[in-house]
Amino acid sequence: MADFADVEVTFIDTEPQGLRGIAAVFVVSSHVVICYARILIPPCCAPSSSTPYLFQRPIFRLVASGHSWVAIFFILMGFVNALKPLQLVRSGEVDKALQKLASSSFSRIFRLVLPATAATIISWLICNLGLDSMSAQSDAYWLHENTPAPSSSWSSAFADLFHGLTATWMFGDQNPYDQPQWALVYLLQGSIMIISALSLVATMTPSWRTTTLFLLAYWSLNWSRIIGDPWTGLCCFLGITLGELSLSNIPMALAPYSPYLSPPVIFLSLFLMSYPGSYAESASWSIWLRDFATSYFPNHTLGAIERIYGSLGGILLVAGIIISPHARWTLSRPPLLWLGRVSFAIYLLHGMVLRTIFAWVLHLGQSRVIVSGQGENGHAILVERYPLPGSFQRFLATAVMGVCVGVASHFWNLNLEPFFAKMTSRLEGIVAGKVQPIEPKSNGSTILPLRKD
């Protein structure tokens, strides 16, 4: 068995990677569920049954709760990006911490923008070469809803590409070539929030830092309601607070009691994260959570109860892991560390793999049939699509997709991430007025992935 004392020294570097990798896998699983297992989206029940399926029940249904796992990305972004500045502040090096925040702000933005741009260009090529045409004609809901039509000409295609690249970073717009990139503008927003908040609280004592961050988190609920973001401020500011917690003596003091404290905290967190995005009225446990939120949560949070529960559950999950050496040891295992290193690549690449290889295998050997669909005005229409296959072919397509996403993400990190690091360093050198390009910085404080280039 592992020496859990070793985890105390290393969990700051490893635990976020493992959890981030798990979150990326569950985001992918939620999109697969929307493809061919939409019956799992409500918490209960099949039309001919009064008993929920196993994966409709709390915790098990996290395979369909992508919104909760996206919240984990925001929480860990605040947690990871705050660790080094907070360590410097706690050691009395406030000026060095502020200098680090100033120098890293530019690189964080471009380490997010450059990979997203590359992924969009690849998806744009796939679309206009017709490689995802089977996906567009699939009866799998996520596929046909998120597969754009090719442009009418290559001149129009370049104009459409420009719109896709800019739409990623605009509130209220969406990249038509890669639906999962909807979250990136909020990750960018969150990164700016984190840098601003850390600059604000750097000179404060730990207790005043924590108090201020809680006030900012509560205040941000108002911004989130107006902007329509997925409670970005709540997750990011409390993620910084969790970083403060991890650097304090509290985890070490609670370690002897963690076998009794951490499991119920983690169980509660996963239960909250299970709250469905729709059809909450179909199960007693989700009705209770909905009524509790209606009675006790601020009114301006009730428009997206599933996201507030996903955010609060994610915060509790990270807190439960911080106080548990056993949980940290589990998350520091090599397979999870690898998943964490490629998590951003998984997030960026899984959509295009779903629309191509997954769709090809899912409908291998099939012919299109007439099925009932929905027109632009909401009326039922008859359309010609590839029908959903049987269980074996669904499993095969999912397994092939998983392998392809893993391999593609590994080679993306191996070959493209170093290029993005060099490009970021060159751009940073230019804007800083440095004649010689500087060496690439470690990617240990990037927005989503955690690497050491």
Tens-digit pLDDT profile for residues 163-192: 999 999 998 889 999 999 999 999 999 999
Please give the biggest Cα pair distance in the chain: 71
CA–CA separation, 247 and 262 (whole Å): 18
Cβ–Cβ under 8 Å, residues 112 and 104: no
Query: Reduced to 3 states, what is the DSSP secondary structure of residue 374?
Result: strand
Task: Look at residue 12 in the predicted model and tell me its pLDDT.
Answer: 54
Inside any domain, residue 342: yes
Inside any domain, residue 373: no
Phi, psi of 370 (to 5 degrees): -85, 125
Inside any domain, residue 20: yes
Measured between alpha carbons, how far is residue 252 from residues 15, 220, 263, 355, 440 in Å? 16, 31, 17, 47, 35
SS (H, E, C) 237-254: HHHHHHHHHHHCCHHHHH
Element (H, E) at 189: helix 184-201
* Residue of 279, 267, 266 lying closest to 56 (CA atoms): 279
CA–CA separation, 440 and 453 (whole Å): 8
In the chain (453 residues long), the average pLDDT of successive 10-residue segments reads 42 75 97 96 84 94 96 96 92 89 82 95 97 95 95 95 95 92 94 94 94 96 86 96 94 92 97 95 95 91 91 97 93 94 97 98 93 73 90 97 98 95 87 61 46 38
User: At what angle are helices 154-167 and 94-128 packed, to 10 degrees?
Assistant: 150
Q: Amino acid letter at 130?
A: G
Inside any domain, residue 43: yes
Measured between alpha carbons, how far is residue 413 from residues 112, 118, 341, 345, 450 in Å? 13, 13, 8, 7, 11
CA–CA separation, 314 and 221 (whole Å): 16
Task: Look at residue 300 in the predicted model and tell me its pLDDT.
Answer: 79
Look up the domain containing 96 and give its range: 4-348
Inside any domain, residue 128: yes
Q: Amino acid letter at 382?
A: L
Inside any domain, residue 250: yes
What is the number of structural domains in the chain? 1
266-324, pLDDT tens digit by residue?
A: 999 999 999 999 999 999 999 999 999 999 998 878 888 999 999 999 999 999 999 99
Task: List Cβ neighbours of 123 (8 Å cut-off, separation of 6 or more).
Answer: 177, 178, 351, 352, 355
Burial of 309-320, coded b for 16+ CB within 10 Å and e otherwise, reads bbbbbbbbbbbb
Inside any domain, residue 19: yes
* Residue of 261, 215, 268, 264 lying closest to 241 (CA atoms): 215
Inside any domain, residue 375: no
